[in-house]
Amino acid sequence: MSRIFRLGRAYTGLGLFATKPIKRGAYIATYRGRLLTTKEADRRESRGARYMFELNSKWTIDGSPRWNVARYINHSCKPNAKPVGRNGGIVIVAERPIEPDEEITYSYGKEYYEYFLENGGCKCAACRKKRAARRRKLREARKQRPQKQRRATARSRKAQSRKG
């Protein structure tokens, strides 16, 4: 198997990283696994099963076997790859050119994102960057506080002079 990626340590665990430049539209991996009815997949998911890839309301791929390398591709809200239907299955293709050592990601979709919003927020690089920017803004807002304190001190001084 000619590998254009390697398994590596990502922020949230393991991830797939490009080892060569990957062109836009290029095939990366197939999402492999047993076909389950979506009903059965939902049942297993509610018991903690992961890596279920829903093809449609009727069929879902159980991608949990380790030999399904596509299961190591993490979610991103700013992905560089995407899943596309091919021959009744799912393949992951590059959505834009990917550089060596870049982590390969695709969007797991709205349902997944909403689940993470309720569970501490999405941990993809794009969302972490957004949260860091928000924290930076908060820090800057806190720096403005000394002015308020100065005003407060002036007020208390006035109050004291009234007393005296």
C-beta of 32 vs 75, nearer to Zn ion: 75
In the complex, minimum distance from the CB of residue 3 to Zn ion, in angstroms, rounded to a whole number:
27
In the complex, minimum distance from the CB of residue 16 to Zn ion, in angstroms, rounded to a whole number:
17
Assign 85 to helix, strand or coil. strand
C-beta of 5 vs 108, nearer to Zn ion: 108
In the complex, minimum distance from the CB of residue 116 to Zn ion, in angstroms, rounded to a whole number:
7
In the complex, minimum distance from the CB of residue 125 to Zn ion, in angstroms, rounded to a whole number:
8
C-beta of 22 vs 127, nearer to Zn ion: 127
Helices assigned H by DSSP within the chain: 38-46, 110-117, 125-143, 145-163
C-beta of 55 vs 77, nearer to Zn ion: 77
Contacts with Zn ion, residue ranges (CB under 5 A): 77, 122, 124, 127
Write b or e for each residue in 71-101: b if 16 or more Cβ atoms lie within 10 A of its Cβ, otherwise e: bbbbbbeebbbebeeeeebbbbbbbeebeee
Name which of 13, 4, 5 is nearest 74 in CA terms: 13
Pull the structure tokens for residue 139: 């820090």
